[in-house]
Chains A and B, each alone.
Chain A
């Protein structure tokens, strides 16, 4: 097991390094020098040079890359070009915001999705199955910002039940924070429900058809026990793995939702850094999102192999 973790960690580090190279050199490919892009076409050349020097962008790209990477290892992500504050003070609070939204969405969608999938599987081919499968899939195909607009229209503007932004006033307590996050989280639930339900349904159907389920039925176990003890245990394994990989998307990929709800998550930070050509923020934020993705997949794999005795013992042997 330790071997497995070490191997995955090693691979993860290599992936991160490749990501850092890609994002760093990707931003360097853009034409013109950095200070000129910041100061605009009418600034004097000497001002541009001075800013380049100040930013360190007059050095060779390799030196700049080294400065950035070695800074990260010392806990220094650099300084934002746009706000002149440290990158950490921008990225980490945003990351925490994103995590809150993701956790709430997860808490709602995972049990719902699994329940829906299992129900569909148990009623395979009947109306309930069709309803859940088709409904879930349709909800998934609608982009999240469409859901966002629709939900705001209904719940915030028409019914007036929930706030239309996601950011709670400063100093709000836990419950009012949750209240503000319900609508954006619901958008994510709509997007992810179909996906999770589909996985759970497929796994359950496979497990229902398996020989061991037949054994359980022929033993004379009540149907409920068969499903609970014999079917679900095996069918939900792949679902859990798939669900955990979605954590990366929930934290790093919610630009549209955060914009619609005006929520200061990491997606907004990425978007703003890109439009403002704030490269230090952009690079570090991308790298952090990468770390989140990797950790999520690693945890998913770990959970999968811990729950699956076949893998658990093979690596122990």
Chain B
């Protein structure tokens, strides 16, 4: 570290948070492993600072360090942490407690787990005020006020409830209420919307934005989602392997990313309606280094397309790109010339053949629970042609996964539903299907950890799949197994490993290979990339596209990430409360979205371009399928609600243009006209 870099930011007043050369290590099996390698950053008052990076790069460690809440085996080895000018590391336990009570709070992922399951919401929020010295009654009063501030519509009844009785989005509002209760000067948000539905995510982000203005709180916003950062923050830092590699104003960093890692991150996200036939997604080669691994001077060298000898020898200083925008790369000026990691050209779009492989007509599924009939799917219709991708979107509870399970025969549809493979009705249960049919219809699950038997080696997992689906044995099977591993780019040398020894991306490759073992005609992909980091996601998406081009397989692709769905899909189906709301070619469904529900879904997603669209707020939460609203099931939340006709009459799924169906009383022209103006706010 010979070159002394200019300070990343100039802050006039005492910053809300200041980390200086922070070095944190975890002791694992007796050895100290470095997680943060000298992180320096500072967040000014009222500033929102975004910290991005893939899992394992130290984002959360930085957040917990700022609260001095490290796990038992974690220790600050070097550097300093100042919150509001106070030195956190020299404080006594009790002073730290006081600081947490008054000056810094945190909101993190999985809000339902963050609340105590056996204490009423009201008591949990009131506790903060009681701690600050309020009487019990006064504390409850203030808790209720705070709940209304986070836009909980019925705070009185929510006060009396338990966390499990509320949805994830509601619980996150409660956690936010609790965090802001003492009007802290710093609020740390660690992936606060990961795992929430796009519509709910949009609402929670809006809420944070509003409250931030009201409470004048600084934010440290940690997320892997670049879109969220661009919506929420003014400045951002990119963390890689425990080191801050780039920092600057958000717009600057997105416009002119000047570190190869940032460039890789930006390139591997499907954005702005990019489609598989136009552009292959870029990936970041290699893997994130293991915790505490020996790294070259520039931590990114091993994965960098621009790396030269100097990168191994000399740590790059923080080079100033523009005012306040710095990059820790020797070649920051030509970082944008970073070669693409994936050379394969995009696959030109072929018009799919006409005869559908799979057809579904009037598919219904009713669950019976404690005497209630819950209709999870109602009259779903679609056809899937050879080699095409049908994207399936909708909020959680819309029936996406139910449909997936039903197609592959894990649960049977109601009597009278027609699901035909090549014109032959499929049995409801996979056990009653012919082997050819089972081979033809396979699935890739969201979580490869639970989908792969952890006691079996990869060789055994794939071998069994081959034997079960194709009936092959011996040398012939071995040959096929090698081909299969090769086709999903799985290194054959790792074939003896067990799932636990592989990374998430590799495990998902195995899961895909398993699905492709029997040369399937259709593969159902149920959120196959949502548990993966963005760079890994890009590689998996590329793989799926490539396999489709080679094998003419059709995908039913389920995802809550609209960017991913648009990238991959030829046609898109939109599901709401088990009903198909819209079905049509990807560009006619989303460019621009017209159906009111699709419009609302689309507008909820923050984009990395930072172009803010008019947000269309959906009122309330998705209603329970046990008692769906009358008429059009979407009428309770519809931003384009017409009037009584929506309450009394369920619209038919009708063809508004060739191949484009939807369920709405409005016609396409009417909606196009209406969408020139944002929808009126509507109470229910």
Contacts and interface: CB of A to CB of B under 8 A. Distances in A.
Of listed B67, B113, B116, B128, residue having the most chain A CB within 10 A: B116
B550 interface: no
B165 interface: yes
A220 B113 contact: no
A217 interface: yes
A21 B102 CA distance: 67
Of listed A233, A237, A309, A310, residue having the most chain B CB within 10 A: A309
Interface stretch (B13-21, B93-101, B289-297, B465-473): B93-101
A5 to B, nearest CB: 15
A313 to B, nearest CB: 6
A219 B114 contact: no
Given A211-B108, A211-B110, A220 B97 contact: yes
Given A214-B69, A309-B162, A219 B127 contact: yes
A149 to B, nearest CB: 43
A229 B119 contact: yes
A308 interface: yes
B118 interface: yes
Given A220-B101, A220-B131, A309-B162, A215 B119 contact: no
A233 B120 CA distance: 12
A218 B105 contact: yes
Contacts, number: 68
B175 interface: yes
Contacts of B113: 210-212
Interface string B404-430: 000000000000000000000000000
Contacts of A233: 116, 118-119
Interface size range on B against A: 20 to 34
B164 interface: yes
Nearest to A215: B114
Interface in A291-317: 307-310, 313
A230 interface: yes
Interface string B465-504: 0000000000000000000000000000000000000000
Interface in B113-147: 113-119, 127-128, 131
B102 A220 contact: yes
A219 B119 contact: no
Given A212-B113, A234-B117, A310 B131 contact: no
A216 interface: yes
Contacts of B131: 219-221
B83 interface: no
B69 A218 contact: yes
A219 B178 contact: yes
Contact of A310 (B117, B128, B175): B117
B162 A219 contact: no
A230 B115 CA distance: 10
A41 interface: no
B116 A218 contact: no
A222 interface: yes
B178 A313 contact: no
A217 B67 CA distance: 10
B106 interface: yes
A307 B118 CA distance: 8
Nearest to B175: A215
Interface in A3-39: none
B315 to A, nearest CB: 34
Contacts of A215: 114-116, 175, 178
Contacts of A309: 117-118, 162, 164
B100 A216 contact: no
A234 B116 contact: yes
Nearest to A234: B118
A212 B108 CA distance: 11
Contacts of B98: 220
Contact of B116 (A216, A217, A220, A222): A216
A214 B114 contact: yes
Contact of A219 (B110, B117, B128): B128
A221 B178 CA distance: 13
Contacts of B117: 212, 234, 309-310
A267 B403 CA distance: 58
Contacts of A221: 97, 127, 131
B86 to A, nearest CB: 14
Contacts of A210: 113
A218 B106 contact: yes
Nearest to A317: B370
Nearest to A216: B116
A221 B123 CA distance: 14
Contacts of A230: 116, 119
A238 to B, nearest CB: 12
A225 B679 CA distance: 49
A313 B162 contact: yes
Contacts of A217: 69, 100
A308 B114 CA distance: 17
Contacts of A211: 108, 110, 113-114
A155 B116 CA distance: 47
B532 to A, nearest CB: 23
Nearest to A314: B164
6 residue pairs, one from A and one from B, having the closest CB atoms = A220-B101, A220-B100, A211-B113, A212-B116, A309-B162, A211-B114
11 contacts: A211-B114, A212-B113, A214-B114, A215-B114, A215-B116, A218-B69, A218-B100, A219-B100, A220-B98, A229-B119, A308-B118
Given A215-B175, A219-B127, A237-B118, 18 more contacts: A211-B114, A212-B116, A215-B114, A217-B100, A218-B106, A219-B128, A220-B97, A220-B100, A220-B101, A220-B102, A221-B97, A221-B131, A229-B127, A230-B119, A307-B118, A309-B118, A310-B162, A313-B164
Interface of A: 210-212, 214-222, 229-230, 233-234, 237, 307-310, 313
